[in-house]
Structure 1
Amino acid sequence: MKSTLMKPRFSKAELVLVLITLIWGGTFLLVQHAMTVSGPMFFVGLRFAAAALIVAAFSLNVMRELTLVELKAGIAIGAAIMLGYGLQTMGLQTIPSSQSAFITALYVPFVPLLQWLVLGRRPGLMPSIGIALAFAGLMLLSGPDGASLQFSSGEIATVVSAIAIAAEIILISAYGGKVDVRRVTVVQLATASLLSFLMVVPTGERLPDFSWLLVISAIGLGAMSAVIQVAMNWAQRTVSPTRATVIYAGEPVWAGIFGRLAGERLPGIALLGAALIVAGVIVSEMKGRGKPAIQQQPDEERLNEAD
């Protein structure tokens, strides 16, 4: 009898998620520059509007076949995206960024918890260990100042934003395989854009003056958002929410690498956090070998068992 060997196995879809997480991490420097000429909610609306138009331009021949399920899925995912961005931004008005990073990281354990409570899918041992390592790494990256919680309105808003981020990941997987990727992406991006623009009013944000930096940043980041959302919708048809979450947790690692290239320096504790996140990604992909081969399962079945 062959001994069981543990080794990580990455599918094509998982490698795509790693790639878009890299792109995602590279957007933060661009966003920082854009925030010098625009308020956050208006810019998020502009960015997602550009993304929606870009995806729509490549989807004109299929948009007329939009179904009610795709419309509902796009609106639900778009609303979750907006709540994630919007509430986190509102929280940042009253709490420091270190605290925001600490609380936002709660989406990592929220995903398997909500998946278990709502969908009845309990994560397996290795993905659970990966989640724990990734969450610990994110805690270290946020720094010691982030762990001080007083349950203020800003902190509560950020907790809800973490739940919204978790909901987005779960919704994308729940609708995966039931919708056309391009059509649902257009709807979710347009929904996120519209809701972001509407948030300008309650947040009291001032409309920015015309700036080429704003236009170029919105188009550039819109193109990145288009690629990221299309890839997420495509890849999560076969990648479980738990595994996808561990991969997405690597985003601050990539952001730190790009920041280092731009001259920023990470403290030693943050480097340890980054190492834990990378370890979490690897561990979550480990599976035992030595079992007899079984016939290929359909995508939906494999997704149900992937955790």
Structure 2
Amino acid sequence: MSASTSRLSLRITRQELVLIFITMVWGGTFLVVHRAMAHSGPFFFVGLRFAAASLLLAVFFRRYLRQVTRLEIKAGVLIGLAIAGGYGLQTWGMQTISSSQSAFLTALYVPVVPLLQWLFLRRPPGLMAWIGITLAFIGLVLVAGPQDGNLTLNAGEIATLLSTLAIAAEIILISRYAGQVDVRRVTLIQLMVASLCAFLLMIPNGESLPAMSAPLLFSALGLGAASALIQVTMNWAQRSVSPTRATVIYAGEPVWAGVVGRIAGERLPAAALLGGALIVCGVIVSELRLRRKKTVPVEAPQEP
């Protein structure tokens, strides 16, 4: 006769803790981007932001560039295109829709990542990961959902919806190549490609060069440094963190954005606080694994 018991285990790695930290930084950039739109067009600002990040990384990583491989160029170009699409479309959409609508629509990348991972990488998420993603997505709806309860798909909202596909593709591509390439070289290449693509997108968008001002330059430099930190960390950490786990961690971005907004004078409603709690629960649940522990078989006593 044998018996088995089930237990839940919680394991958070160093890489995941680092991703949580950079998600805090990531969330804090939202307010800066929102205010920068008063001084610049969306694609010029995105291009300037990633140009600053590229220059910063080039200073630190210049001695490693000689060993660049064809695979690293390919990975950097693909990830850079995804970054340009995600950040560019999201920033463009914020010109015509409210920040709450933008955050709500952008949150759709949370369930998109495991679906794309399943479709292209043949890695179906586990049950606990699906539960965690569901909780995180519901929390995001409560944190950033439109106040009037209505969503009308104008041009800005469609652009934001498309940005979620690019964001999901970025996470998938980083996980696809992270273990095969040098993080420093690929990060620099992807930021350079993202900057160049954003500047080129100014042409079809009809953008002109804005007047240079201190708020614009300081915003671009600050976000450039943050982008460099975020991209290097993502490439490093996702060598061992799965796309599903990374996605749930990144789902905390609007929570940290709300914290920064509160410091700046905004106040979160009760529904948003509940949403933040659900997101935290989603992160924890996604890290739980149901394990079966077999016990030593117990033999029935023998009769004399």
TM-score by length of 1: 0.89
Tell me the residue number matched to 1:296.
none
Task: For residue 205 of structure 2, give the secondary structure of its aligned residue in structure 1.
Answer: coil
How many residues in Structure 1 have an aligned counterpart in Structure 2? 292
How far apart, CA to CA, are the structure 2 residues paired with 1:146 and 1:78?
A: 36
1:112 maps to a residue whose letter is: P
- CA RMSD between the two structures: 1.8
Which residue of 2 is the match for residue 281 of structure 1? Answer: 283
2:23 equivalent to 1:12: no
Counterpart for residue 118 of structure 1: 120
Match of 1:303 in 2: none
Say whether the 8 Å CA contact 1:30–1:217 is kept in structure 2: yes
- List aligned pairs for 1:34-45, cutoff 5 A: 34-45=36-47
The aligned amino acid for 1:174 is R
> How many angstroms does 1:147 deviate by?
5.6
Q: Distance in 2 between matches of 1:48 and 1:214?
A: 14
Shift of 1:261: 1.8
Q: Which is further off, 140-149 or 191-200? A: 140-149
For residue 260 of structure 1, the aligned residue among 259, 262, 267 is 262
Query: What is the CA–CA distance in structure 2 between the aligned matches of 1:93 and 1:220, rounded to whole Å?
Result: 21
1: distance between equivalents of 2:43 and 2:140?
25
Give the structure with higher Rg (CA). Answer: 2
What is the distance in 1 between the residues matched to 2:254 and 2:200?
Answer: 29
Alignment match, 1:234: 236
Letter in 1 for 2:52: A
**SS of the residue 1:36 aligns to:** coil
* 1:83 aligns with one of 82, 85, 101: 85
TM-score (norm 2): 0.90
Q: In 2, distance between residues paired with 1:60 and 1:122? A: 39
Tell me the distance in 1 between the aligned counterparts of 2:283 and 2:39. 36
Q: C-alpha deviations, 1:9-48, integer Å up to 9, x for none?
A: 1001101100100111111232233333222221111110
| 1:157-189 CA distance string (max 9 Å, x none) | 222211110000000000011100000000000
Unmatched 5+ residue regions in structure 1? 293-307
Q: Alpha-carbon deviation of 1:236?
A: 0.3
| Residues 218 and 150 of structure 1, relative CA distance in 2, 3 Å threshold | closer
Please give the residue correspondences for 1:172-211 in structure 2 after superposition, counting only pairs within 5 Å. Answer: 172-211=174-213
Aligned partners of 1:5 and 1:288 also within 8 Å? yes
Q: What is the alpha-carbon distance in structure 1 between the residues aligned to residue 18 and residue 199 of structure 2?
A: 30
Identify the residue that residue 99 of structure 2 maps to in structure 1.
97
Distance 1:116 1:226, change over 3 A: same
Deviates more, 1:141-150 or 1:16-25: 141-150
How many Å separate the matches in 1 of 2:149 and 2:165?
18
Q: Aligned in 2, Cα 1:219/1:161: closer, same or farther, shift over 3 Å?
A: same
- Show the counterpart of 2:144: 142
Identity value in percent:
64
Shift of 1:290: 5.9
- The gaps in structure 2 that reach 5 residues or longer are 295-304
Q: Mean Cα displacement is larger for which, 52-61 or 104-113?
A: 52-61
1: CA distance, partners of 2:261 / 2:151:
27
